[in-house]
Structure 1
Amino acid sequence: MPKDAAVEEFAGLVRTLKARDGRSYEALGRRLSVSASTLHRYCSGATVPEGFAVVDRLALLCGADEEERRALEAAWTEADRARRRTASPVPSPAPVPSAPESNPEPSAPAPTAPEPGPDPAPDPTTPEPTAPEPGPSPAPKPSAPAPTTPEPGPSPAPKPSAPEAPRARPRRAVPAPLLVAAAVALVVLALAAALLGHPTRTASAPAPDSTPPGRTAAPLPFTWTIGSELWQGGCGHTYLVDRAPGAVAPPPVAADSGAWAGTHGAVHGGEALVRITLQGRSPSDAVVLEALHVRVVDRAAPLPWTAYRMDNGCGGAVTPRHFAVDLDRPRPLARPVDGLDASGAEVRTIPAVSFPYKVTSSDPEELLVSARTAGCDCRWYLELEWSAGGRSGTVRITDGGKPFRTSGTAGRPAYLYDSAEGRWITDAESGQTG
């Protein structure tokens, strides 16, 4: 399906849902935690949401049934693919295939374990079939002594060879099983050595693990997704990039920020926004979200890179369930703060609500975490405590298996993009001072 057709089909479905509900862009946007202008861009096809969760929540709010939600998800998937095809490709994944290619080479020696292939040595024991020859059990054979005439001939030679076979048999039959046992012992020792070398890795492996079920035997009673390339109000954000202005592409739209940041190796400057969308699996059995914790795993001096600001003057923001984190504190906390609704003509305050929260399949929840720093290059992740139906646990929330990363920007050269001149300019050139 052509790109434009895929995006238009998706936008048409979103418009249909919005029209069915009858509420204004501002009213619906407030329930979805997006600005009115952002929701309008979804309906017009100007922007495709970065994740399906916000669209699914819109479908639930507008009373869509399961079939309509499946069709909406399929349309979003095609539109998202079309959007990604237009984004700048990230070259970094290319080298990934080289890693698996090298793995088979060291694993190839494994088949050499059968080196006890000398088992063919038992071939000399093949004379064992000669054992029945000396066995005179078949009495009728002695009745044919007529051929004894050739005995004075060369026949005596084979007779001494016959006793040699019985001597070889006891000596070589014993080594054969010994060789097999030795080979098995070597394999067992090799496996034991390999296993003894792994505990340190298995102990550290859980640290970056972000798989929702974690170590829980049963599946989680809820699902969750994250958005980690968010901009304040959908327009304001700062990235640190280790490149000169001439080597940095123009700022993307917010929906394509992930691809832009990946291509430039960018790091969130001063503030990182993380949105967590949670939804229960049952319409009646609620999951209680008990607490949210912040874990800083590494601190370093702020990056000595150049700051690039993405401000482009777009619409306002809705920030309910907002949690502020000061990464510069020794023990950062996720502190609930008042949210702001700047999507209308006036800016309204949304009162802070602290834990616990409840979620079901028909009543999802979104948490927005704003992590700021002025004095460090911090790597951090979140832990969400939950309980439901007599069970409880903690989910580790990371950036695709890696810690989130935020670095201070104080004292760094800062640039804004001048779309009229088509180049990055300094604050002094733009007339701004902050």
Structure 2
Amino acid sequence: MATPEETAEFAALIRGLKDRSGLSYGVLAKRLHMSTSTLHRYCNGDAVPTEYAPVERFARLCRATPEELVEVHRRWILADGARQRDRRAATGTATGTATTADTTPGAAPEPDTEATPDPAAPDPTPSASRPAVQEPRPAVRDNKNRRRITLLTAAAVAVVLAATALVPRLVSGGGDDKKQEAGSVTATGRGTGTPSPSTAPKATSSPSPSASDSTSPSPSATVGGDVSASQSAKSGGDADVATEVPLTVTTRPYAWESPCSQTYLVDRSQGKLPPPPTEQDAPSWVSALGAVSADSQYLELTVQGTGHDTVVLNSLNVRVVGSAAPVAWNAYTMGYLGVGCGGGVPTHSFDVGLDASRPVATPKSGQTGLPYKVSESDPEVLYITAAAASHDVRWYMELAWTSGTRHGVLRIDDQGKPFRTSGMSGRPRYIYSLDDSAWVPFQGD
């Protein structure tokens, strides 16, 4: 099978980073904790990593610039999408072949195990060796008669039930026909009103097999990769409200701007805290310890359309759920003592001041803000730095979008819960020392 164009472009990009770094496949594979053959396959386009974390570590080891990191992420999203499309196509082809084989005209029918032997057909068994045979045909005919009676009885019951169901409609008069017709228009989204409970379609009421096989998210579903935006389509004016959200937002709420840029508040002493995690393990580390992002929280939002239509991202609004005094816990900075930290400001980055009475997302360093355009083949990655110095803030964001006559708002949060960011002023702060294998007081700024 030919390599998809997206996969080939992704492989060419990371292969170029590898060649520029001067590091061998063996050295890179050892530092990435993977086999050399696997790394070869990634760089040759024979395979695509199923997760972005090893790709990012690879790019950082090859000293990719912030702009190159953004491009690597974008290329990986497209290559991963191509991989999933190929897998679905292969599954569909296999299923279609099996179905065709089962329904091909002229295929030999299954033998009828209950067929009555033809009395006129000659018996190949010699009469001398043929044992006495009891007549099975009456029993077979009785079985067939019982099946016919059962079918006729079921049909009669169905007719009675249908007639019973029609009685209320006949009694209510002819005016209900117009009501039913108007209700069906509203339920399918062509009207401007909200469907009433009596006319709104229910997902569980359809007997069609396709209803249970559908994977399209509902407006209130959570979709995406690590953490996704809870989708809630909201209407404005008299325009048609979107029945299906034409984009996905995959959120990484515990991304790190640089290897030691993130600090967490944890309600544990330094002697009882495990070593710092890697970036890809940060979500489980935070969840297990009940940690809270300290001073600032760095979010990575990958926004991608679900079809060929262009989707315009109009605005990104911050909503504060609650604000309180900062938590009085110890602060622990990720990274290691004596290990340098790099980083930069990628494009499409925003600052959010959570201490403000009405926080807003402001583009960094004079960058161009929203609106942006996305589609299935042209995703965008947005970076949010939300800072809190004097409060413990619970918050989420809303992304307003339009696509043609459709529009709506996506709620972006932490798997259905608000994000949480707390100030750490005056709190004891520690960093991990590889020499001592322990958390030690942080001496930096």
* 1:367 is the counterpart of 2:391: no
**Cα distance in 1 for residues equivalent to 2:83 and 2:348:** 30
CA shift in 2, pair 1:54/1:37, >3 Å: closer
Task: Pick one of 256, 265, 273 that aligns with 1:248.
Answer: 273
**Cα distance in 2 for residues equivalent to 1:417 and 1:40:** 24
**Cα distance in 2 for residues equivalent to 1:265 and 1:299:** 18
Residue of structure 1 in register with 2:100 after alignment: none
CA shift in 2, pair 1:39/1:394, >3 Å: same
CA shift in 2, pair 1:358/1:411, >3 Å: same
Contact 2:331 2:428 in 1 (8 A): yes
The TM-score, its normalising length taken from structure 1, stands at 0.53
Residue of structure 2 in register with 1:38 after alignment: 57
* 1:298 is the counterpart of 2:298: no
CA shift in 2, pair 1:7/1:54, >3 Å: farther
Task: Please state how far the C-alpha of 1:235 moved relative to its aligned partner.
Answer: 3.3
Contact 1:37 1:315 in 2 (8 A): no
Task: Please state how far the C-alpha of 1:274 moved relative to its aligned partner.
Answer: 1.2
Encode CA deviations 1:345-370: one digit per residue, 9 max, x unaligned: xxxxxx50111000011110011111
Residue of structure 1 in register with 2:103 after alignment: none
Contact 1:37 1:316 in 2 (8 A): no
Task: Please state how far the C-alpha of 1:41 moved relative to its aligned partner.
Answer: 5.8
* 1:423 is the counterpart of 2:438: yes
Residue of structure 2 in register with 1:212 after alignment: 231
CA shift in 2, pair 1:327/1:65, >3 Å: closer
**Cα distance in 2 for residues equivalent to 1:37 and 1:222:** 24
Unaligned 5+ residue runs, structure 1? Answer: 21-31, 45-52, 73-205, 339-350
Alignment of structure 1 residues 229-244 onto 2, 5 Å = 229-244=254-269
Residue of structure 2 in register with 1:328 after alignment: 355
**Cα distance in 2 for residues equivalent to 1:41 and 1:329:** 35
Unaligned 5+ residue runs, structure 2? Answer: 1-29, 64-69, 89-219, 223-227, 235-240
Q: Secondary structure at the match of 1:310?
A: strand
Task: Please state how far the C-alpha of 1:211 moved relative to its aligned partner.
Answer: 2.8
Task: Please state how far the C-alpha of 1:13 moved relative to its aligned partner.
Answer: 4.2
Residue of structure 2 in register with 1:66 after alignment: 82
What letter is aligned with 2:346? T
What letter is aligned with 2:247? F
Encode CA deviations 1:121-164: one digit per residue, 9 max, x unaligned: xxxxxxxxxxxxxxxxxxxxxxxxxxxxxxxxxxxxxxxxxxxx
Structure whose alpha-carbon radius of gyration is higher = 1
Contact 1:59 1:69 in 2 (8 A): no
* 1:389 is the counterpart of 2:404: yes
Contact 1:15 1:43 in 2 (8 A): no
CA shift in 2, pair 1:42/1:223, >3 Å: farther
**Cα distance in 1 for residues equivalent to 2:413 and 2:84:** 31
Alignment of structure 1 residues 277-296 onto 2, 5 Å = 277-283=302-308, 285-296=309-320
CA shift in 2, pair 1:42/1:227, >3 Å: farther
**Cα distance in 1 for residues equivalent to 2:305 and 2:269:** 46
Encode CA deviations 1:159-189: one digit per residue, 9 max, x unaligned: xxxxxxxxxxxxxxxxxxxxxxxxxxxxxxx
Aligned residues: 260
Alignment of structure 1 residues 137-152 onto 2, 5 Å = none
Task: Please state how far the C-alpha of 1:217 moved relative to its aligned partner.
Answer: 5.6
Aligned residues with identical type, % of pairs: 38
Alignment of structure 1 residues 308-319 onto 2, 5 Å = 308-312=332-336, 313-319=340-346
* 1:16 is the counterpart of 2:33: no
Task: Please state how far the C-alpha of 1:12 moved relative to its aligned partner.
Answer: 4.1
Contact 2:229 2:251 in 1 (8 A): no
* 1:402 is the counterpart of 2:427: no
Task: Please state how far the C-alpha of 1:404 moved relative to its aligned partner.
Answer: 0.2
Q: Secondary structure at the match of 1:311?
A: strand
CA shift in 2, pair 1:54/1:267, >3 Å: farther
Please provide the CA RMSD for this pair: 3.8
The TM-score, its normalising length taken from structure 2, stands at 0.52
